[in-house]
Structure 1
């Protein structure tokens, strides 16, 4: 019979520990390999599917409609990832147009999770001044039809007068009445400016009661309204052709906007639409536009500062704001 000794016990324990450690390493390596393979297959499948393009399309539409002249940069190459828990993560550049140039002012980060309430959107501004954006005032109280007036701050025009003519800027104004989009565009066609965005009246305070708004001196402005901007039509999310705000194509722009609203209503969860994309009452707003037509009450435009100064001749303007200035980058058409 072999005599049991402390040395033999240590050897057996060491051998056991070595064997156990080796097994654990093998199991961890197998798990790591399977996890890596899963991530690779998942990423390839995600890249080959239309999910990233679909998510980008939904986010860009929401941002472009709600950000008062700021836009998600229109580009086919974007940063999109899918996590092992099937959350889609997108990072999109936010831009403002000053003259003919798009200037990045921030980043839109969106995480779309399988469970919609846990999805999130965050906008980080690289320029603090861009965070406030523009404000647009309704020309009348929708509930009573009473006209609401607000005088243009004279410093708006004096600021433009003092700026060197070799400068461009973006500029926003509200009107003292509602216009059909083609009417306002026709009015602005006499000036060398580009129209970037127009606030839409979609039944707020009248058909839609529970909306966010503020009152300044008896004048109402919408906090979570929608606006018209360049329109992108797509069936497979691969097309990046857009129609701008021009009088000769505005009816097509309206048609595309209604179609895109319908698409979002059918393809996206209501919680995701409202709480993440910020598209509250999208169904009600779509129905109002479809039944009553498009009415706008202002615009965001851009152009040479001396051309913007000429807009003071428009008696319909009841409030105005100057945005950001940039060196001359304008080409007349």
Structure 2
């Protein structure tokens, strides 16, 4: 039996075909989204169960301790860690600096650990523009010749401290005219009512290896690492602790620093250390410290401005730089 083809029949067939096709497309999209959700769920659960985020957070903080003076996390602050579909691990946490006896939020640490380590990033987003000259430390002598060196002096540092109200606390960095052990530096600063936060550590720069440097005339500053309170963590990185930079913990802090250096050298790639953590020449520095011991040539301190001003009279101190200031939050003993 022949059926006559009409425009109405054509329209009905096309509508039915379009409806069927739309349903298929929706099903495919729904299935794709479901499997993508399942894929991400498996990745996320595996990522957090393996504790990779805790490991990366721990070592990023170790690197921050060594390379960025007076920058620290606040214990109890919230860390953010996630993994993308392409296995990029994104981590962020707030960072603070100590001014007087209280911490001040200064920015957020942003980490991206990628499968190709050379494309990993480690940066700090500051709440306000950072003064790169805030911390400049000058070597007391030339590493290659032993010639005595000086520091660039800025009289405005002391003038500003003299003009602010004594009910103020501040952060100050300075260099010294000779090398000291960390214990000697702590003893050197003991007469002052100040907290010592960080010390530039000489680890063979320009003597055992070449690194970035700056200076003019009879001054020389190098890209260095620093000595501060040591960190330790359990095997799963769930339990972490940090010690203060005090004389009673000095030997432990040195031991922990060398231990974390060795852990990174033994267990992590050069790309991980340099591209992700930003730690260059770690092997050379570790070998130098093991052979020559710990020598520092300055410090970052915080305390009342009246105590900081007393450092001006100490002939051993040079090249002071003033950091942040805030209202009184000190506890007088």
Shorter-chain TM-score tier: over 0.9
* Aligned counterpart, 1:294: 294
- Does the CA-based 8 Å contact 2:77-2:93 persist in structure 1? no
* Aligned counterpart, 1:41: 42
* Aligned counterpart, 2:181: 180
Q: Displacement, 1:76?
A: 6.3
Alignment TM-score, normalising by the size of structure 1: 0.94
Deviations 1:61-99 (A, max 9, x none): 111211122234444630111111111101122221100
Q: 1:225 to 1:75 in 2, by over 3 A?
A: farther
Specify the SS of the correspondent of 2:110.
Answer: strand
Q: Displacement, 1:311?
A: 1.5
- Does the CA-based 8 Å contact 2:98-2:104 persist in structure 1? yes
Count of aligned pairs between the two proteins: 331
User: 2: CA distance between counterparts of 1:159 and 1:233?
Assistant: 39
User: 2: CA distance between counterparts of 1:294 and 1:57?
Assistant: 23
* Aligned counterpart, 1:231: 230
Q: Displacement, 1:219?
A: 0.8
Alignment TM-score, normalising by the size of structure 2: 0.94
User: 2: CA distance between counterparts of 1:163 and 1:207?
Assistant: 43
Q: Displacement, 1:213?
A: 0.5
Structure 2, gaps ≥5 residues long = none
Q: Displacement, 1:184?
A: 0.6
Q: 1:213 to 1:27 in 2, by over 3 A?
A: same
- Does the CA-based 8 Å contact 1:170-1:325 persist in structure 2? yes
User: 2: CA distance between counterparts of 1:50 and 1:252?
Assistant: 26
User: 2: CA distance between counterparts of 1:49 and 1:133?
Assistant: 39
Specify the SS of the correspondent of 1:84.
Answer: coil
Alignment of 1:188-267 (within 5 A): 188-209=189-210, 211-222=211-222, 224-235=223-234, 236-267=236-267
* Aligned counterpart, 1:315: 315
User: 1: CA distance between counterparts of 2:320 and 2:216?
Assistant: 14
* Aligned counterpart, 1:21: 22
User: 2: CA distance between counterparts of 1:217 and 1:73?
Assistant: 41
Runs of 4+ with >6 A deviation: none
Q: Give me the CA root mean square deviation.
A: 1.7
Higher alpha-carbon deviation: 139-148 or 260-269: 260-269
Q: Displacement, 1:131?
A: 4.5
Q: 1:259 to 1:87 in 2, by over 3 A?
A: same
Specify the SS of the correspondent of 2:220.
Answer: strand
User: 2: CA distance between counterparts of 1:133 and 1:307?
Assistant: 19
Alignment of 1:117-156 (within 5 A): 117-150=118-151, 152-156=153-157
* Aligned counterpart, 1:115: 116
Q: Displacement, 1:132?
A: 4.0
